[in-house]
Amino acid sequence: MTAKKALSLVPILLLASLVVGSSAYLTAKKMRPLSREEVAKIWIGLTEDEAYVVRLSLSPDGTGQAGYVYQDSEPKVERITSWNYSAPKIEIEMAGNYTFRKLEGKVIGTRMALKSSGQGWSSEVHLRLEEDLQGRWVRLKDAMRPTAPGDDRAEVRGSFDPGTGSPTPATRSSRPR
List of domains in the chain: 36-130 (2.40.128.20), 145-174 (no CATH)
pLDDT tens-digit series, residues 137-170: 889 988 888 765 654 544 445 555 555 555 555 4
The predicted structure's pLDDT at residue 153: 45
pLDDT, the chain, mean: 77
| Of the candidates 98, 122, 102, 103, the residue with the CA atom closest to the CA atom of residue 113 | 103
Q: How far is CA 39 from CA 10, 88, 95, 115, in A?
A: 45, 10, 20, 17
The pLDDT, as a whole number, for residue 146 is 72
* pLDDT score for 176: 46
The DSSP bridge pattern shows strands 52-58 and 42-47 to be antiparallel
The answer to whether 160 and 141 have CB atoms below 8 angstroms apart is yes
3-41: pLDDT as tens digits: 555 445 444 444 444 444 444 444 445 788 999 999 999
